[in-house]
């Protein structure tokens, strides 16, 4: 189960990797189009404004199309085969799901609580009655949650039925078409269930708004908690949009009201609690500035030593994106599904921190990262309100440290698989045979831990740098043929020989482990282990062309490359001069590789193979 969670978390990170750059672009667009900082040059209609608005529009692509990104990204990480086709199947099934939702609400909207579905127009910065446009399809706004559910359904169908052989007369429906057919019919009940249940969830969120507004600090805490905890479902939009851009608190929304009176607030020395008493609901950018960096620090502190460099390379840009741009997705989705309790802790700490700041008199428009907060708060209001901002930093840093300590303790105590704590480092450790058997006993319940194939497969997988270091794996005759990502992670040859390998041949990233005639069984066990560990290698159980098969077999039976002085093709024979005739295998072993006869004279060995002698010799020389 833990391996499946790790694999799912890795798949979630495929689309998340795009958020960092996009967040920086959006933040820069917001900064350079702020008239408070750049004056009239940044006003709408100017060339300057148009240029940065265009750049920002490109940056928003990732965030506006999150559903499709996750629909594509999950199959790329979770499909066992033909991942490109799985991604295509997932996208078309996701669009089908939304078309079903659209049609059901068009025909029976009243039955689902949305009687005017066809008349509702989707506009920016509005809750739109819980609706949205996805690829020009008006549908329910299920955010990434709907995308994830559809993608997981498609991945399951793909992994189970993509290779299913259909009767000849149905042959045209095999493969991706068959997956889509099954997904098509699976989406009908899913769309029906969504139409029935999702509006009820959305209405429940709307009902909470009235309680939040009238409950003072308790309402502020609840508002901030819901605004964070609901992010995975997309329902947080229904929490903050009516406050920020709608009439839930003040006519026109809190953001336009704040910007409208910004110059007035800047010129006044009255406390912000008197100037803007209702502006305490828009403080949720503080967790992006103060808490997320400390969460990243906790991940780094608890990462395994061998993973710290890789972990920091991922976390530093993601933390900076959160701080400056206010985009937290690169961090959120790295641990959200692997350790959901940490997400709850984060939401509680964020709500408590913002409520504490609210109690100390902080008010403002602080829904973005540091760039947005500075441009709409700190820079224009610092002269008369610097004391409350100093308090803001003090409270933020204190809560950041507390969050760091809580995360670090919980990660270590419960061994959560947060970034840097994956099992990858076990792949590069050299462990003894007894430990290999113990690992296999745990990983292969129901299998004999003393099985020599399992023991050798586990050993070779670890010695090759682990599942994530292997990019291609196949076998030929007596050898495992492996392509690795990093040759430096491959153990010394002596470690392979200690686990019954005859020899190891290195050609850059191409490694050949000479195993023996039981290489197919070892390959099968390695393939199973790699699936369990979430490996992404291309594995082939098919034999290579017969010349390579026979060439590798003859090389090994002749005692290996070091035992061969020279080799030539002589009519129908492979003629070899060897160093030590005692290292040459018995004639019967050569005949297993289609040798018709073996003739020996002193240190000369003739292998009678037929008219393929030239091709076999050429392949033997290439292997040497």
Residues acting as catalytic residues? 476, 570
Return left, alpha or beta for 479; rule: phi > 0 is left, psi -120 to 50 is alpha, else beta: beta
* List of E strands, 168-252: none
CA distance linking residue 429 with residue 464, whole number of Å: 10
Q: Which structure tokens are listed for 39?
A: 């004056």
Q: Give yes or no for a contact between 506 and 562, defined as CB atoms under 8 angstroms apart.
A: no
Q: What is the dihedral of CA 364, 365, 367, 368, to 10 degrees?
A: -110
- What is the chain's length? 624
Distance of CA 542 to the CA centre of its chain: 30
CA distance linking residue 535 with residue 553, whole number of Å: 29
Q: Which structure tokens are listed for 168?
A: 């000849």
State whether residue 69 is helix, strand or coil.
helix
Give the angle 461-465-469 at the CA atoms, nearest 5°.
100
Q: Which structure tokens are listed for 525?
A: 């066990």
Of 305, 297, 302, residue with least CA distance to 322: 297
Q: Residue 538 forms beta bridges with which residues?
A: 472
CA distance linking residue 144 with residue 19, whole number of Å: 14
Of 88, 61, 95, 60, residue with least CA distance to 72: 88
Burial-class residue 241 by CB neighbours within 10 Å (0-12, 13-18, 19+).
Answer: middle
Q: Give yes or no for a contact between 37 and 30, defined as CB atoms under 8 angstroms apart.
A: no
CA distance linking residue 576 with residue 607, whole number of Å: 8
Read out DSSP for 572-585? TEEEEEES-GGGSP
Supply the angle between the helices 66-78 and 143-161 in degrees, to the nearest 10: 30
Supply the angle between the helices 519-532 and 452-463 in degrees, to the nearest 10: 60
CA distance linking residue 604 with residue 477, whole number of Å: 23
Q: Give yes or no for a contact between 368 and 326, defined as CB atoms under 8 angstroms apart.
A: yes
CA distance linking residue 289 with residue 27, whole number of Å: 13
Percentages of the chain per state (helix, strand, coil), in multiples of 5: 65, 10, 25
Residue 478: Cβ within 10 Å count = 21
Find where tokens 């913002």 sit.
354
Q: Give yes or no for a contact between 95 and 81, defined as CB atoms under 8 angstroms apart.
A: no
Of 552, 563, 560, residue with least CA distance to 593: 552
Rg (CA), the chain: 32
Q: Which residues contact 416 (CB under 8 A, 6 or more apart)?
A: 335, 338, 339, 342, 410
CA distance linking residue 594 with residue 410, whole number of Å: 61
């Amino acid at each position: 189960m833990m391996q499946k969670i790790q694999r799912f978390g890795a798949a979630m990170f495929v689309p998340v990797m795009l958020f960092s750059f996009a967040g920086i672009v959006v933040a820069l667009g917001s900064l350079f189009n702020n008239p408070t900082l750049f004056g009239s040059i940044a006003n709408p209609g100017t060339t300057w404004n148009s240029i940065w608005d265009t750049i920002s529009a490109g940056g928003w692509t990732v965030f506006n199309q999150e559903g499709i990104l996750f629909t594509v990204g999950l199959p790329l990480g979770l499909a066992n085969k033909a991942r490109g086709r799985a991604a295509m199947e997932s996208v078309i099934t996701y669009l089908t799901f939304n078309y079903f939702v659209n049609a059901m609400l068009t025909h029976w909207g009243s039955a689902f609580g949305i009687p005017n579905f066809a008349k509702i127009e989707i506009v920016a910065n509005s809750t739109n009655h819980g609706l949205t446009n996805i690829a020009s399809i008006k549908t329910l706004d299920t955010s990434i949650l709907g995308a994830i559910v559809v993608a997981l359904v498609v991945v399951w169908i793909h992994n189970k039925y993509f290779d299913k052989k259909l009767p000849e007369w149905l042959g045209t429906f095999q493969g991706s078409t068959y997956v889509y057919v099954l997904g098509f019919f699976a989406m009908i009940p899913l769309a029906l269930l969504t139409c029935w249940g999702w509006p009820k969830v959305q209405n429940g969120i709307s009902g909470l708004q009235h309680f939040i507004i009238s409950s003072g600090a308790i309402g502020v805490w609840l508002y901030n908690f819901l605004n964070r905890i609901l992010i995975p479902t997309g329902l947080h939009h229904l929490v903050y949009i009516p406050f920020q851009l709608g009439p839930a608190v003040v006519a026109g929304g809190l953001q336009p009201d704040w910007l409208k009176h910004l110059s007035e607030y800047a010129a006044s020395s009255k406390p912000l609690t008197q100037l803007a008493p209702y502006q305490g609901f828009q403080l949720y950018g503080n967790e992006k500035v103060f808490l997320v960096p400390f969460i990243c620090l906790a991940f780094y502190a608890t990462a395994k030593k061998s993973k710290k460099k890789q972990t920091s390379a991922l976390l530093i840009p993601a933390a900076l994106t959160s701080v400056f741009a206010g985009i937290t997705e690169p961090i959120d989705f790295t641990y959200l599904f692997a350790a959901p309790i940490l997400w709850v802790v984060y939401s509680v700490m964020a709500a408590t921190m913002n409520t504490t700041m609210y109690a100390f008199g902080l008010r403002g428009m602080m829904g973005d990262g540091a760039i947005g907060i500075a441009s709409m708060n700190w820079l224009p209001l610092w002269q008369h309100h610097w004391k409350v901002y100093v308090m803001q930093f003090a409270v933020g840093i204190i809560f950041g440290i507390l969050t760091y300590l809580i995360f670090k303790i919980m990660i270590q105590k419960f061994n959560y698989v947060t970034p840097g704590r994956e099992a990858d480092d076990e792949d590069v450790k050299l462990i003894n045979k007894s430990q290999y058997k113990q690992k296999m006993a745990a990983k292969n319940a129901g299998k004999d831990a003393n099985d020599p194939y399992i023991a050798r497969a586990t050993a070779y997988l670890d010695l090759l740098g682990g599942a994530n270091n292997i990019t291609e794996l196949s076998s030929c005759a007596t050898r495992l043929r492996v392509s690795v990502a990093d040759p430096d992670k491959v153990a010394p040859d002596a470690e392979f020989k200690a686990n019954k390998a005859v020899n190891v041949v290195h050609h850059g990233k191409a490694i050949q482990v000479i195993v023996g005639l039981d290489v197919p069984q070892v390959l099968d066990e390695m393939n199973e282990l790699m699936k369990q560990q979430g490996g992404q290698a291309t594995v082939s159980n098919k034999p290579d062309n017969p010349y390579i098969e026979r060439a590798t077999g003859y090389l090994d039976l002749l005692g290996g490359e070091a035992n061969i002085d020279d080799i030539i093709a002589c009519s129908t024979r492979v003629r070899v001069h060897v160093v030590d005739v005692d290292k040459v295998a018995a004639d019967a072993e050569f005949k297993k590789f289609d040798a018709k006869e073996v003739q020996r004279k002193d240190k000369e060995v003739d292998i009678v193979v037929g008219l393929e002698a030239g091709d076999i010799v050429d392949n033997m020389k290439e292997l040497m």
